[in-house]
Amino acid sequence: MVALFPTAYHPSVGYMAEVILAEEIFVEAYETYTKQTCRNRCIIFGPNGRQTLSIPVIKSNGNHTLTKDILISPHQPWQKIHWRSIQTAYNNSPFFLYYQDHLVRFYEKNYKFLLDLNLELIQTLLELLKIESRVKFTVEYEKNKTNVKDLRANFGTKQIDQQLNYPHYTQVFEPSHGFIPGLTTLDLLFNLGPEASPYLKSIKK
């Protein structure tokens, strides 16, 4: 199966569950950029519950800017804020110390384009999850794709995919807020470690 995804910043558990199912993975680069989506934001589980991390972006051509041309704003210290938030959320999780060195570099390196950052992030996640898939970018925009599982409109950050079954796993702040499903894959990785990949395979439509 060939699957077509939107780009995503620290993609959700549902996103990565679809990635595991796909034989070929394409990320849409030529769509008109959609704001307030997984493209530049993710949801972590912080001390106060669900917490949104959002990358500030610049649309160089206004509302007609293509995703491939979206710039990351250099005027806000988002990397410092995001990494500090991730540390606060997951420092006490079982596998944070094991994985942190693989991820902290994304908050120390300067990126110009959102698509470049997201690609490197997902490639790192695939390696850590021991998923052998490779990600390719589209070379043009096609509104109606045939013979492809089109997921470009999926993975909003306000609502989880209700069609997926999210088995329970232990989360750091679960005693205070209960189990929160469908968060960023980081939540899964830091809490389950090597069991994160089997968990993704267990999610059924």
Task: With cut-offs at 50, 70 and 90, classify the pLDDT of residue 57.
Answer: very high
- Give the pair of three-digit tokens for residue 94: 């079982």
Please state the φ and ψ torsions of residue 71, each to the nearest 5 degrees.
-95, 150
Contact 75, 47 (CB under 8 A): no
For the cut 80, the answer to whether the pLDDT of residue 79 exceeds it is yes
The residues with which 136 forms a beta bridge, in sequence order, are 26
What is the chain's mean pLDDT, rounded? 93
Contact 70, 59 (CB under 8 A): yes
Contact 56, 34 (CB under 8 A): no
Rounded to 5°, angle at Cα 84 from 170 and 190: 25
For the cut 70, the answer to whether the pLDDT of residue 31 exceeds it is yes
In the chain, the percentage of residues whose pLDDT exceeds 90 is 80
Q: Give the pLDDT confidence score for residue 145 in this predicted structure.
A: 80
CB within 8 Å of 95: residues ≥ 6 apart: 189, 190, 191, 192, 193
Task: With cut-offs at 50, 70 and 90, classify the pLDDT of residue 36.
Answer: confident
For the cut 90, the answer to whether the pLDDT of residue 155 exceeds it is no
**Distance from C-alpha of 152 to C-alpha of 1, rounded to nearest angstrom:** 15
For the cut 80, the answer to whether the pLDDT of residue 25 exceeds it is yes
Task: With cut-offs at 50, 70 and 90, classify the pLDDT of residue 205.
Answer: low
